[in-house]
Amino acid sequence: MTAPALVWFRQDLRLEDNPALQAAIERGAGVVPLFVWSPEEEGSWSPGAASRWWLHHSLASLDESLRALGSRLVVRHGPALAVLQDLRRETGAEAVFWNRRLEPLIVQRDRAIERRLREEGIDARAFNGALLFEPWEICNRAGGPFKVFTPFWRHCLAHRAPEHPVAAPASLPGVEGAEAPASAPLAALELLPSIHWTAGLEKAWKPGEAGARAAYDRFVEKDLVGYSITREQPDRPGTSRLSPHLHFGEISPRRIWHVLHDWAGRRSAGGALRASEDYLREIGWREFAHHVLFHFPHTTDKPMRAEFASFPWERRPRALRAWQRGETGYPLVDAGMRELWATGWMHNRVRMVAASFLVKDLGIHWLEGARWFWDTLVDADLASNSLNWQWSAGCGADAAPYFRIFNPVLQGEKFDPEGDYIRRWVPELAAMPKRWIQRPFEAPEEVLSRARVRLGKSYPRPVVDHAEARARALAALHRLPDDEGEEEG
């Protein structure tokens, strides 16, 4: 009888299309599913409060699914290597399998663990469960990593179709002749906050593999066909909201890819093809973010474009607090920041506007924004968060051109033309007519008073004047040394 295998679950909290789990099953012996909580090993980017809430519920859901297969999740807390070694001794396991994560500290830790376990004679192996392609598979003509999205994605599309997803197992063999290994109760990890502030999260989300599948199926059935247009409308549920499910690996990108291809193949209308291409392109941005993080690990904390290292960011604690609380006086920014606080998520268009406002209008370092998002987003993801914050600040891979400074008023009028998004998240402006709702600070006194808005009392005056802030940001950005740019193919 072959000795059992440990399957070390991490950000791959699913049974379907899970290569590490699949490899363990194929060995034909017992399988011990394990989760190790070791936030200290993630350094300053250990999971934030909203992520911990999600993780708790996702682990509970995984355990339930495993129990339905006659198994269960072993939960432990401690340094990962020590826990793996303990569990190996307890179960007699001779193999440890996991799916790769690409955060810099985790890459270093996992390499050390793999080396050590192999020295001990263990079959220790890592698989790709999170991405369409491995980061070292997609190279430019010079054999290096891409730094620009469009050629990267073109290359991915021409590369090869990702493998078909593997179905979830129908049962899982346990460890024969041995006691099931002890597990800490999930509650012992203390992932849930001691003060109950998560009602909005509970209402908005269903963490776990079943929730991920339901969200994707509903999106494909209802919203995908109109995605090319509705994805830009924060006042509607036009996007898939799969980001936290993808971050925690509750659904595989391979499944997303193949379902999309089947869906588009069954439809002849050009709009359907475009919608599926647009959606896949977003999955491509996620892929790009992970590849960039793998090749440029310093970008979690340092700008990709070195000349930004000397950028004169400002320290403005009061303005930062106003931004965090959704009290900047710019309704679209405030609505987004309040949506984030209430639900752990913000629409992508509004994330771009809110991020631009912090770094360009307020001149505050992008890391301050990245850290706030890290703590409050249920989809907080080191690759996507770092790439997008650097994009917004203009200092990252394929960044927004420095002169692109979102005007929060015009963005609101374009993407929330009726003001419904503002009315939902900034209720003190609910009675404002649509002509003024994105710019209450310019509204005539009688309009404000009819809408029962008292600027500076019931709703704040703008913390900065956008036109002045824009000019100041442009002047500072102009003073940066020139970037030569890089050619890619």
> Which residues are known catalytic residues?
282, 285, 313, 348, 366, 389
Q: Which of 59, 212, 359, 380 binds ligand FAD (CB under 6 A)?
A: 380
Are the C-beta atoms of 80 and 109 separated by less than 8 Å?
yes
Separation between Cα atoms, residue 370 and residue 44, nearest integer Å: 12
Q: What is the DSSP string of 251-285?
A: S-HHHHHHHHHHHHHT---HHHHHHHHHHHHHHHH
Task: Give the CA distances from residue 309 to residues 182, 305, 306, in Å, rounded to whole numbers and listed in that order.
Answer: 49, 8, 6
Our finding on whether 58 is near ligand FAD (CB under 6 A) is no
Are the C-beta atoms of 8 and 98 separated by less than 8 Å?
yes
Beta carbon of residue 422, minimum distance to ligand FAD (angstroms, whole number): 18
Q: Which two tokens stand for residue 271?
A: 């709009």
Beta carbon of residue 285, minimum distance to ligand FAD (angstroms, whole number): 4
C-beta closer to ligand FAD: residue 282 or 420: 282
Our finding on whether 365 is near ligand FAD (CB under 6 A) is no
Q: Which of 240, 343, 376, 390 binds ligand FAD (CB under 6 A)?
A: 240
Our finding on whether 55 is near ligand FAD (CB under 6 A) is no
Our finding on whether 381 is near ligand FAD (CB under 6 A) is yes
Beta carbon of residue 472, minimum distance to ligand FAD (angstroms, whole number): 21
Q: Which of 277, 348, 476, 477 binds ligand FAD (CB under 6 A)?
A: 348
Contacts of 103 (CB under 8 A, 6+ apart): 42, 45, 293, 300, 382, 383
The 100-139 site mask, x for binding ligand FAD (CB under 6 A), equals ----------------------------------------
Q: Which of 247, 291, 365, 423 binds ligand FAD (CB under 6 A)?
A: 247
Of 38-46, 347-355, 422-430, 472-480, which part binds ligand FAD (CB under 6 A)?
Answer: 347-355
Contacts of 269 (CB under 8 A, 6+ apart): none
Q: Which two tokens stand for residue 481?
A: 């040394």
Of 11-19, 297-305, 346-354, 473-481, which part binds ligand FAD (CB under 6 A)?
Answer: 346-354
Of 4-12, 76-84, 313-321, 351-359, which part binds ligand FAD (CB under 6 A)?
Answer: 351-359
The 282-321 site mask, x for binding ligand FAD (CB under 6 A), equals xx-xx--x--------------------------------
Q: Which two tokens stand for residue 363?
A: 């001149």
Q: Which of 198, 343, 385, 438 binds ligand FAD (CB under 6 A)?
A: 385
Our finding on whether 388 is near ligand FAD (CB under 6 A) is yes
Q: Which of 373, 406, 425, 436 binds ligand FAD (CB under 6 A)?
A: 373
Our finding on whether 379 is near ligand FAD (CB under 6 A) is yes
- CA 193 to chain CA mean position, Å: 21
Q: Which two tokens stand for residue 104?
A: 């810099």
Task: Count Cα neighbours of 334 within 13 Å in the Cβ-side half-sphere.
Answer: 27
Query: Assign residue 61 a region: left if phi > 0, alpha if psi is -120 to 50, beta otherwise?
Result: alpha
C-beta closer to ligand FAD: residue 80 or 260: 260
Our finding on whether 356 is near ligand FAD (CB under 6 A) is no
Separation between Cα atoms, residue 98 and residue 96, nearest integer Å: 7
Of 100-108, 155-163, 175-183, 377-385, which part binds ligand FAD (CB under 6 A)?
Answer: 377-385
C-beta closer to ligand FAD: residue 155 or 231: 231
SS3 416: coil
Are the C-beta atoms of 386 and 370 separated by less than 8 Å?
yes
Task: Give the CA distances from residue 250 to residues 231, 246, 427, 453, in Å, rounded to whole numbers and listed in that order.
Answer: 22, 6, 34, 44
Q: What is the DSSP string of 428-472?
A: GGTTS-HHHHT-GGGS-HHHHHHTT--BTTTBPPPSS-HHHHHHH
Q: Which of 99, 198, 239, 324 binds ligand FAD (CB under 6 A)?
A: 239
Q: Which of 242, 340, 367, 473 binds ligand FAD (CB under 6 A)?
A: 242
Vertex 222 angle, CA 220 and 226, to 5°:
90
Q: Which of 84, 117, 201, 246 binds ligand FAD (CB under 6 A)?
A: 246
Residues within the interface to ligand FAD (CB under 6 A) = 231, 239-243, 246-247, 282-283, 285-286, 289, 348, 351-352, 355, 373, 377, 379-381, 384-385, 388-389, 392
